[in-house]
Amino acid sequence: MSRIIETTWHGQPAWALENDELRVVTVPGMGAKIVSLYHKRVGYEWLLGPADRPFRPVPYGSSFVEQDMSGWDEMFPTINACPYPGDGPYRGVSLPDHGEVWALPWQVVEASGAALSLRVSGQSLPYDLVRTLSFVDTQSLRMDYTLSNTSDAPLAGLWAAHPQFAVTPTTELRLPREVKSVVSVAPLPSWAPIGSHLDWPVTAAPDGQPFYLDRVISAEAHHSRKIYLLPDQSVGWTMLLETGSNHWLRMEWDSAQVPYLGIWADEGQYNSELTIAIEPSTGYYDSLELAWDNERVPILPPDASVEWSLTVRLGAD
């Protein structure tokens, strides 16, 4: 049986969705950030906390890495800051770093025993985005999204999830077996420039030593990396397996709705703790301007809506 509770998180008004296995907490006033994804049976928190950074709302247009760097944020209509591309009434409109919805307050539109829905309206562009959280079963959280174009002109937009998962050196990132190669979209330390194709899950460093892309080792390395699956290789799941205890997190989605997958790993460059961010995305990649040039971004007709969903499953076997 699930329940929804009004609560607080580090002094901010929050809502908790809870059942016998899972507890999920979100903060509407801070971009509907999901701040906790807690597996009760294992006693494990899957999302990074704010650690030594203040947890508070940030001004619109802030740099993403200057905020608390915790939890699960929503990215729309871009990830990297860029001007709105293409022709039409919004051409050249400035889109802030990591989009805008992570830095805007969301409104609660439904809080029943079964679902928690929140909505945000665009500031730079005319749209509404609704996210609904509900439990599929005691171990599975479903996240349903509805994006509506509220204007009389076509609208391009790139959405991506940005969950900063708490991982350890014994955590492995699993992908479907058919994935053999990935693309570097942010340079690895001193090698693998942007656009490099790398073997998955183990590639060769310049010194010939194996470099494991499916794990992170130490926050003392003070670097990060970002890869994408090849743009024509759509997958529908990935998972994190904690090999020391065999508890795991699996994300699933419809690859026809969300065709691209980015993976960001931080070993102490921006956060003092290890993290892997699994980022299913509707555009390829990161910048709406670049995705437009790649012709790999959805365009929503006037007064139209589109829906997609993610499911997060937690297990311990």
pTM: 0.96
Please enumerate in sequence order all residues whose Cβ is within 8 A of that of 117, keeping only pairs 6 or more positions apart, or say none.
108, 109, 110, 111, 130, 131, 132, 133
Mean pLDDT of the region 236-265: 96
Radius of gyration, alpha carbons of the chain: 19
pLDDT tens-digit series, residues 119-168? 999 999 999 999 999 999 999 999 999 999 999 999 999 999 999 999 99
pLDDT tens-digit series, residues 269-311? 888 899 999 999 999 999 999 999 999 999 999 999 999 999 9
Question: Which pLDDT value is given to residue 35?
Answer: 98
Question: Which pLDDT value is given to residue 229?
Answer: 98
At residue 63's C-alpha, the angle toward residues 124 and 185, to 5°, is 95
pLDDT tens-digit series, residues 11-54? 999 999 999 999 999 999 999 999 999 999 999 999 999 978 88
Residue 191 has pLDDT above 80, yes or no: no
Q: In this structure, are residues 70 and 109 in contact, taking their beta carbons and an 8 Å threshold?
A: no
